Structure 1
Amino acid sequence: MSTQGAEYVRDQRYLTTRITADGRDGFPVEPGRYRLVVSRACPWANRSVIVRRLLGLEPVLSMGICGPTHDERSWTFDLDPGGRDPVLGIERLQEAFLARDPDYPLGITVPAIVDVPTGQVVTNDFAQITLDLSTEWREHHRAGAPDLYPEGLREEIDEINAGVFADVNNGVYQAGFARSQGAYERAYRRLFARLDALSERLGTRRYLVGDTITEADIRLFTTLVRFDAVYHGHFKCNRTKLTEMPVLWAYARDLYQTPGFGDTIDFAQIKEHYYVVHRDVNPTGIVPLGPDTSGWTTAHHREELGGRPFGEGTPPGPVAPGEAVA
């Protein structure tokens, strides 16, 4: 993260090597070869956790889970026995980045996919990772896996994603890390203008694009699910809570109650990450007890709009052993 003047600017320089079916970047799709490293706290990593689960890739792509907090050096595996990832054998994700490049100068971010035999990070390009899981890993999708990035809808999905990223996914950070009143107010207004537009769009349709869940819904959901717990107070995005935006609140509950979404969410870890790590925003490190999350399981009535969550496919099965949220 960085600021240029008063504006928050996200460093989007990532390792863009891709894991593909034809291995054109030197890393072919191979069951068991790679490990997806995530944190349940991180919205960008949460996308890949959801996509992996919806597509049923657990048997071919293992997952390491970092703890919710980190220092300036790296995310750590403090949730694992001995504080060490059982597959990669490392204590810090930083070790996998330095194995790829001993002079690696950029951010140590999740999600990251690590080549297990070499211990080197292949990619941390979060936006491309989920698209590649949908397209390049297709041979290993479970029977009944949904098409999250259907070819005929990609242009519309990409357009929606661009606006959601600029004003919502990244917009909450631009508000929260602003270094001037003007920068904050500009981000705040863009955020709520986009949320209002999305609310209008979703007032007559169950999902953002087409009549099934797509990549676009996943990208919006991971911000909405953190909104009241973190962004409303911690990042000063406080015009209205999610629970006070009827359409988006019902839409978010619909997704939360869909297998593969809510079962990836750990509100305690989400709050611990933001309120403990961001000491420039929250110097005391005190983690709030609220909000009450029981409303996430209440009726949403979005099924009345039609739509088929998984299209011609089926819901994912039970959460893989060892991956259930406490």
Structure 2
Amino acid sequence: MSPRLRFEFVPGYFEHDGHPTGPEGGFRATTLPALGIIQQDYQDQAFTAGDQDTQWQRLEKHLAVLNAAPQGCRHKVFFVTRHGEGVHNVKEREVGRHEWEAHWARLSGDEKTTWLDARLTSKGKQQAQDLRSFWLHASQVDKVPLPQTIYSSPLIRALQTTSLAFQDIPELRFEPIIKESLREITGIHTCDKRSSKPSIEAEFPEYQIESGMTEEDTRWKFDRRETLTERVEVINNFLAEVFSEDSSTFISLTTHSGAIRALYQAIGHPDVWVAAGAVVPIAIKRNS
């Protein structure tokens, strides 16, 4: 019998939970209308959903009931965004996965471009802008709650995605928090080496940087790549912090493919790979 997870995903709310897993077959989860929320009635007796409520409004009330239960499990919905296409993604497609891993990922760039702490391509920027359009429509029409807290990886492509997706959305408090825990699995690949803290502060002054971030990137190692198991522990610590210190129910994370896979493993979620520039919803509970 496997040990009970401290944090678990809650199935049954979103189509995303049942999508194909793994890289085989080429499936990548994309942003679904209304985030693929499953139409259903919730069996709470503490409220009666109005006839005009959208499914998201019903879910919001349902979670409020669950979270109000004495000594109950705490529930949150995470809007998990994978950054838009980066210049490193283009180079990897050009040379192939094997050559990328064996040679190119270890370099800072080629004669045409630099992928050290890789930035978004034009396509990646458009993907992030499309996310803003999605949020405007989803929040107004489907009544998807806007995130009450926004967390982002400190890597430039994630910060660019967060800004393009969420800045200037009415009724959204844009005060994103940078968390090292959300960066890509790190080491060897220069695209995953963080820029210095002063340069991030200069380019993204509206972001709050978590305390403890070093001036230079001390986590990235040129000769060793972090393992998925190691990152799962980092994600567990991040979830513990969020569930204990952040009262928000609806939270946005801008992160990376490897970090998303670590999140899945931490909460027991199927390994559904996510397309660049897509957002997927995951309900997570902290077991009491």
| TM superposition score normalised by structure 1 | 0.27
| TM superposition score normalised by structure 2 | 0.29
Report which of the two has the higher share of strand.
2
